[in-house]
Amino acid sequence: MRKSSLGDRMKGYECAAEMRLTRRLPMILRLDGKAFHSWTKKTGCVRPFDHTLMEMMFGLAKYLCENVGGTVMGYTQSDEVSLLVRDDQAIDTEAWFDKRIQKVVSVASSLATYWFNANNEFERKVPAFFDARAFVLPECEVRNYFIWRQEDATTNSLSMLSQSLYPQSELQRKKWAELQDMCWRKGRNWNDLESIEKRGACVCRRTVTVEGRGGPCIRRKFVLDREIPIFTSPDAENWWHEVVG
């Protein structure tokens, strides 16, 4: 048997499993910590909000924004990071790994797993892993995607706070206002939490002045925004326009 025919046949099997996402549509790439419910316990993360973990997630989001080609912005909450990745800026803009799903998700999860473990600030170095998923959606749904993730962040935030104050049995079937009220009765006002605790944070490309060899110069850099608006609010219009376009 000729070598090339064996190779061609194997390549054929390989190609059959190769899927690409549609070019020029916005892509969402979401990374999520694997079994972080137990990872956070083994690591000794504090409840309801562990700021060491949060700062690591912010660093991870920035690293991913800088290393996934075409990223416009990153959003992080809890143990997850969502990236908005575009390849429609110009007709010849290239897509990261040609939007080959297997490449995109495997490289993205390796990048995340590498960075997170290399920058683990906790004393107990429990290995952490990240899964990744990638998909495209219509332009008109991009903001709705981030509204969905932010609503998840907000719901989790109130339930984490409630769970730190009451046993689970007392929290079952309680509505938003009731939970807020219960927290308030224990002296904790959910509204007074930090923005990052209530709705997560974003990494956005901003124009910044940096010191160059020939003096100050202007650069576009990814920076962390710890005071993001509520994505459904009218205040978010300008912010969204500036960050996403």
Ligand X SMILES: Nc1nc2c(ncn2[C@@H]2O[C@H](COP(=O)(O)OP(=O)(O)O)[C@@H](O)[C@H]2O)c(=O)[nH]1
Strand order in the sheet with 71-77: 130-136, 27-33, 80-85, 71-77, 201-212, 215-225
Residue 33 found at the interface with ligand X (CB under 6 A): yes
Instruction: Please state the closest distance from residue 156 (CB atom) to ligand X, in A.
Output: 7
Residue number with CB closer to ligand X (30 or 86): 30
Alpha helices, DSSP H, located in 119-235: 142-165, 176-185, 195-199
Residues that bind Mg ion (CB under 5 A): 32-33, 36, 79
Q: Which residues contact 197 (CB under 8 A, 6 or more apart)?
A: 48, 49, 54, 157
Q: Tell me which of Mg ion, ligand X, none is bound by residue 37, counting a contact when its beta carbon lies within the kind-specific cut-off of 5 to 8 angstroms.
A: ligand X
Residue 165 found at the interface with ligand X (CB under 6 A): no
Residue 26 token pair: 């916005």
Q: What is the DSSP letter of 96?
A: G
CA–CA dist 198, 245 (Å, integer): 25
Tell me the per-residue interface mask from 38 to 77 with ligand X, x by CB under 6 A, - otherwise: --x----x-x-xx--x------------------------
Instruction: Please state the closest distance from residue 78 (CB atom) to ligand X, in A.
Output: 4
Which listed range, 35-43, 66-74, 161-169, 223-231, lies at the site for ligand X (CB under 6 A)? 35-43
CA–CA dist 138, 147 (Å, integer): 15
Residue number with CB closer to ligand X (35 or 218): 35
Q: What residue ranges bind ligand X (CB under 6 A)?
A: 32-33, 35-37, 40, 45, 47, 49-50, 53, 78-79
